[in-house]
Amino acid sequence: MRINDNYLNLQAGYLFPEIARRTSEFAEANPDANIIRLGIGDVTEPLPAACIDAMQQAVTEMGKRETFRGYGPEQGYDFLREKIAEHEFQARGCDIHANEIFISDGSKCDTGNILDIFAPGRANTIAVLDPVYPVYVDTNVMAGNAGPADGSGHYEGLVYMAATAENNFSPQIPDGKVDVIYLCYPNNPTGAVATREDLSRWVAYAREHDALILFDAAYEAFICDPSIPHSIYEIDGARDVAIEFRSFSKKAGFTGTRCAYNIVPRSVMGTTSNGTRISLHDIWYRRHTTKFNEVGYIVQRGAEAVYSPDGQDQTDELVHFYMANAKIVRQALQSLGIMVYGGVNAPYVWLKTPNNLTSFDFFDQLLNEAHVVGTPGSGFGAAGEGDFRISGFNSRKNVHEAMRRVTENLKI
Ligand code: PLP
């Protein structure tokens, strides 16, 4: 058999293996060092009690013949889709209906799987932010929407839109036509958010150029500023040009439980090779029901409980917990005179490396002097060189200890 040659264009998974290599080398040479990892974007705190209770009840139901459930609807149970539509969208004035929501097992899969319904090869021009969540880029390479990478790590055929401190993390709208635009707000890795005006410019561009926005709002729950939109559908006209991705992973600690959803409004259209306009909802529905068999009933009941009064209080508490960590990180770094961004409406703090160090040189310094692991910004794209990400996802004790070591031991 022949393999998909596009996979050969992927650069070796460089970032996380390299971090792991450097960390284990340091740990071997310094067996007594208590290394604190503020590098990964995984949650640490237990699930909200309301979700646990709901899942336990669902387990009991599954153990009785009268209440047992087998296969459910592929696009998710109505009880969950209706709660999401009401609480996440209609409550914010967004014209989104339960039957436009697809429950899935993760935004990582969703953002990759959506490419199944786009024309293969280089039929579409794809634009991504730089730095960027690597899944968007790698899945496009796998799908053949991009060619080999150049020396800076940029893949041929993709349009990279720099979002850096220089442009206040608000990238320039492309001059020419692109077909698909990935936006992620609040942003991983920079922690930046998009204002209503920023998003309105993107929606206007997409409407004018018949482009599709893929809006990843995995971190929307962390927005604290009431003027910042949580959903692209808060912008007039977005219903016609945007697909949104949401996840319970960070909002409710579901990284290991797995539940997410995407919204494909019935009004978003694409064009067939012969120029016919067709609803993306209909072909995504076909794809989803053919290749996916629902998230388990027990997990969907757990996700539903996020919208109970107790669940809402408990998820708010979780979010505040991580945001308080991010604040501790910001303050510690600022006290050293380091320029920090993010960490205010997002759990990630993005910093400019001191003394113009490369991202990996600062990684080594932080590891050697404070025994703390972070993520080099260059791993998220060429425009992230000289920057660094520190995550607020950890226990309070670890964050305090890490920042104590940073402020006391880092020689800058
Ligand atoms: N989107 C972004 C921007 C992320 O940072 C992550 C996880 O870190 C995901 C999606 C993946 O979310 P999920 O756990 O739902 O697959």
Regarding whether 288 and 380 lie in a shared domain, the answer is: no
Is the separation of the CB atoms in 406 and 366 below 8 Å? Answer: yes
Helical spans, DSSP H, in 336-395: 359-370
What per-residue confidence (pLDDT) applies to 17?
Answer: 85
Q: What is the mean pLDDT of residues 185-199?
A: 98
Q: In ligand 1, which atom is closest to the CA atom of 254?
A: 14
Strand 126-130 with 180-184, pairing: parallel
Q: How confident is the model at residue 391 (pLDDT cuts 50, 70, 90)?
A: very high
CATH number of 197's domain: 3.40.640.10
Confidence at residue 412, expressed as pLDDT on a 0 to 100 scale: 85
* Mean predicted confidence (pLDDT) in 247-252: 98
Q: Mind listing the pLDDT tens digit for each residue in 100-111?
A: 999 999 999 999
State whether 66 and 143 are in the same domain. Answer: yes
Is pLDDT above 90 for 248?
yes
Q: How far is the CA of 112 from the centre of ligand 1 (A)?
A: 11
Distances (CA, A) of 221 to 218, 249, 295, 315, 345: 8, 11, 22, 9, 9
Q: Which pLDDT score, from 0 to 100, does residue 12 have?
A: 75
Predicted confidence at residue 323, as pLDDT, reads 98
- Helical pair 396-409 and 309-335, crossing angle rounded to 10 deg: 10
The overall average pLDDT reported for the chain is 97
Of all atoms in ligand 1, which is nearest to the CA of residue 108? 16
Distance 24 CA to ligand 1 centre (A): 25
Give dist(CA 38, CA 347) in Å, integer: 11
In a domain, 362, yes or no: yes
Quote the ligand 1 centre to 107 CA distance (angstroms). Answer: 5
Taking CA atoms only, the protein residue closest to ligand 1 atom 5 is 188
d(C-alpha 242, C-alpha 244), whole Å? 6
Asked if residue 224 and residue 151 are part of one domain, the reply reads: yes
**Ligand 1: which atom is nearest the Cα of residue 250?**
14
| Structure tokens, 123 | 């039929």
- Cα–Cα distance list, 238 to 192, 196, 232 (Å): 21, 12, 6
pLDDT exceeds 80 at position 21: yes
193 — pLDDT class (breaks 50, 70, 90):
very high
Tell me: the pLDDT tens digits for 261-292?
999 999 999 999 999 999 999 999 999 999 99
Question: How many angstroms separate the CA atoms of 12 and 5, rounded?
Answer: 14
Distance CA 32, CA 34 (A): 6
Q: Dig out the tokens for 26 from the structure.
A: 């340091």
Residue 41 lies in a domain: yes
Q: Is the pLDDT of residue 13 over 90?
A: no
Between β-strands 159-162 and 126-130, what pairing exists: parallel, antiparallel or unpaired? parallel
Distance 391 CA to ligand 1 centre (A): 14
Q: Which amino acid is at 86?
A: E
Tokens of 30: 């310094």
Whether residue 91 is predicted with pLDDT greater than 90 in this model: the reply is yes
How many domains would you assign to the chain? 2
* Predicted confidence (pLDDT) at residue 333 exceeds the cutoff of 90: yes
Query: Looking at the predicted structure, is the pLDDT value of residue 65 above 90?
Result: yes
Q: What is the reported pLDDT for 41?
A: 87
Predicted local distance difference test score (pLDDT) of residue 16 = 83
Nearest CA to ligand 1 atom 3: 188
Tell whether the model's pLDDT for residue 40 goes beyond 90: no
Residue 38 has what pLDDT?
A: 94
> Which two structure tokens, joined as six digits, stand for 298?
């027990």
Helix-helix angle 15-29:359-370, to 10 degrees? 30
Q: Ligand 1 centre from 218 Cα, in Å?
A: 6
Give mean pLDDT, residues 368-382. Answer: 96
Q: Quote the DSSP letter at residue 222.
A: G
Q: Is 3 within a domain?
A: no
Pocket of ligand 1 (CB under 6 A): 41, 106-108, 133, 184, 188, 216, 218, 247, 249, 255, 260
Angle at 309 between CA 304 and CA 314, to 5 degrees: 85
Instruction: Decide if 50 contacts 271 (C-beta within 8 A).
Output: no
Quote the pLDDT of residue 283: 98
Q: What residue numbers bound the domain in which 278 lies?
A: 52-307
Tokens 């958010």: give the residue.
193
If you ran DSSP here, which 8-state letter would residue 354 be given? G
Question: Would you say 81 and 103 are in contact if contact means Cβ atoms under 8 Å apart?
Answer: yes
- Which residue, 253, 282, 307, sits at the end of a domain? 307
Question: Which residues lie below 8 Å from residue 290, measured CB to CB, with a gap of 6+?
Answer: none
Q: Do the domain assignments include residue 4?
A: no
Q: How confident is the model at residue 144 (pLDDT cuts 50, 70, 90)?
A: very high
pLDDT level of residue 191 (50, 70, 90 thresholds): very high
- Above 80 in pLDDT, residue 73? yes
Claim to verify: residue 274 and residue 320 sit in the same structural domain: no
User: Is the pLDDT at 98 greater than 80, yes or no?
Assistant: yes
3-state secondary structure of 342: strand
Q: How far is ligand 1, taken at its centre, from the CA of residue 246, in Å? A: 9
On whether both 106 and 34 belong to a single domain, the answer is no
